[in-house]
Amino acid sequence: MTTLLSRFSNEVPGVRGTDERVDKVAYARDLWPRHHLAIRSGAGASGPNEPGAIVWPESTEDVQRIVAFCNKTGTKLVPFGAGSGVCGGVLPGRDVLILDMKRMAKLVSIDRSAPTLTVEPGYMGLPLEDELGRQGYTLGHFPSSIVCSTIGGWIAGRSAGQCSGKYGKIEDMVVSIECVTGKGERLTLARRGHGPSLLPLVIGSEGTLAVITQATMRLHPKPVARAFAAFAFSSTEAGWEGMRDLFQAGMRPAVARLYDPFDAMLARQGTVKAEKKAKGPGAAAPGMGGSVLRQILRVPSAMNAIIEGLGSQVFGGALLVLVFEGEGAECEAEAALARRRLEARGARYEGEGPARKWLAHRYSVSYRQAPVFASGAFSDTMEVAASWSKLGALYDGVRKALGKNVFVMAHFSHAYPDGCCIYFSFAGSAPPGTKDGSWDEASEAVYDRTWQAALGAAVDAGATLAHHHGVGRSKAPKLAAELGSTGISTAKAVKRAFDPNGILNPGALFPPIAPDPYTKRAGTGPESLATDGGAS
């Protein structure tokens, strides 16, 4: 039987590819936590989600030839950065070609007169920032996934870094991109001072409209100093009002993170403890700690009620961490001004310690999930955003929706003069009475029910469902409710214009009506786009 790779190699010679089983398993998914549940149960470790083949282009011309092959043969194509997305943006199938962009990883040029950087999409985040630092610059983009993500992935997912308060999100940094559409057309899309622009359509399109092959990005001088400060507030609301005051007064701390009382307690600790190893391969719940965790998470509403009742009295109140960076005198002056403004609002200065601890462990959070899943539980995050006037309703509504099924905490980050992002972290497990043989299936049902309720609450509060993680498959079911029928119809028209044959990353962002990708249980998987059926 002729394989997809053999057909590809015959028609697109000179492009490296593989269809080895170990590679197909590795490229069958991203880091969406729902994938982790399926893998733990054995349902998603292999099978229909494996791609037909993986190929590695080395030039824009290679990408054009690959797209031409896919259009000619009707093969679906999924662009792939580093696979660190957490929203189900990658979920291929046996007839799908994975386009891994990591061999397109050249730093093309630095224009010191602008200053700008021109770079290929496969360049990994941390090495890129290190190289820019040696040249005296910074991009200013520091997502938690910087050690395992690419610049192309940042642009495709509309990423935000931890220093967005000073430097903005990734869309604020892009000057222009070169890309190849689903028609195989090579385009250069640049920021425009007036009139319509296609650039914002491709930024955040998650590989559904075009393959990014090069980007020109704004640079900033590498900061020479930092100033740190932390403040305690009597309530979470008082904390976000303090943040609002700073940003609306024109201040731009690089980092501004507000933790609700329980999350603040963890932030004050500022360490990542070593986790015990599982005692055997595939162990569902290693050790006493895993058993205790599962028991606690079986009654999350009670845990949430206890913590909310204890609140600031026990955990020390909400905590705001600020980091300023730039020139030394400038940083110190900004930190001093922030202290005066916040103390005038009743905040208690807690020194530099919590902010310095946060910086020391800024990338550690990504490594905390595995022990939770190994213990038979699950954890996930949800980032939504709203204007300041709607922030309270969003915080209360989503926390209430999540709290019925999972243990929840939150912090606020990526603040702007007009609004703020809320980053919910939550953990859950199967409900009481679940037997061991159906543990993973019951956990999946809780997980899906939790997401549907929380997204619905966010829409009801007038929020945007995706601030910086992207949409993928996890948020797409409710996107129609946020955008409305006109928004979905517009998205479908854009999709047809860029990718008329629908070959690019089908199912992501605006998925067609489809069954649950892992199980056959009716009604438990992510719901479909009932409003308009999707854009692909």
Same domain? For 256 and 379 the reply is yes
| pLDDT of 520 | 44
Among 101, 184, 234, 169, which Cα is nearest to 383's?
169
Residue 468 inside a domain? The answer is: no
pLDDT value, residue 372: 85
- Average pLDDT on 184-200 reads 92
Give the phi and the psi of residue 168 in degrees, each rounded to 5: 85, 180
Q: State residue 310's pLDDT score.
A: 66
pLDDT tens digits, 403-446: 999 999 999 999 999 999 999 999 999 888 888 778 888 999 99
The CATH number that applies at residue 124 is 3.30.465.10
Which has more pLDDT, 140 or 266? 140
Q: How far apart are CA 314 and CA 505, in angstroms?
A: 48
Q: Tell me: do 188 and 264 sit in the same domain.
A: no
**Does residue 85 lie within any of the structural domains?**
yes
Does a structural domain hold residue 339?
Answer: yes
- How far is residue 140's CA from residue 413's CA, in Å, rounded to a whole number? 16
Average pLDDT, the chain: 88
Q: pLDDT: is 369 or 82 the higher one?
A: 82
236 shares its domain with 367: yes
Q: How confident is the model at residue 521 (pLDDT cuts 50, 70, 90)?
A: very low
Residue 300 lies in a domain: yes
- Residue 279 lies inside a defined structural domain of this protein: no
Do residues 371 and 443 both lie within one domain?
A: yes
Same domain, 308 and 441: yes
Residues 187 and 298 in one domain: no
Question: 245 and 213: one domain?
Answer: no
Domain C-terminal end among 436, 460, 484: 460
Domain's final residue, options 460, 483, 502: 460
Q: For residue 161, is it within any domain?
A: yes
Residue 533: predicted pLDDT = 32
- 64 and 186, same domain (yes or no): no
User: pLDDT value at position 298?
Assistant: 65
Within this chain, do residues 15 and 138 fall inside the same structural domain, yes or no?
no
pLDDT above 50 for 536? no
**Alpha carbons 367 and 81: distance in angstroms, whole number:** 19
> What is the domain-level CATH number for residue 364?
3.40.462.40
CATH at 44: 3.30.43.10
Residue 319: its pLDDT value, please? 95
Structurally, the chain folds into a number of domains equal to 4
Q: Within a domain: residue 153?
A: yes
CA–CA dist 446, 449 (Å, integer):
5
> Which DSSP string do the residues of 31-47 spell out, in sequence order?
S-HHHHHHHHHTSSSSS
3-state secondary structure of 533: coil
Considering the domain architecture, whether residues 262 and 381 belong to the same structural domain is answered as: yes
Look at the block and give the residue holding tokens 């905040």: 347
Residue 520 lies in a domain: yes
Strand partners, 30: none
Residue 75 contacts by C-beta under 8 Å, 6 or more apart in sequence? 4, 52, 69, 95, 96, 97, 503
Tell me, yes or no, whether 95 and 161 share the same domain: no
One domain, residues 77 and 118: no
Q: Is the pLDDT of residue 290 over 90?
A: no
23-72 pLDDT, tens digit each: 999 999 999 999 888 888 876 655 788 999 999 999 999 999 999 999 99
Domain residue limits at 16: 4-100
pLDDT (tens digit per residue) in 205-232? 999 999 999 999 999 999 999 999 999 9
Q: Are 280 and 202 in contact (CB under 8 A)?
A: no
pLDDT single digits (tens) 111-169:
999 999 999 999 999 999 999 999 999 999 999 999 999 999 999 999 999 999 999 99
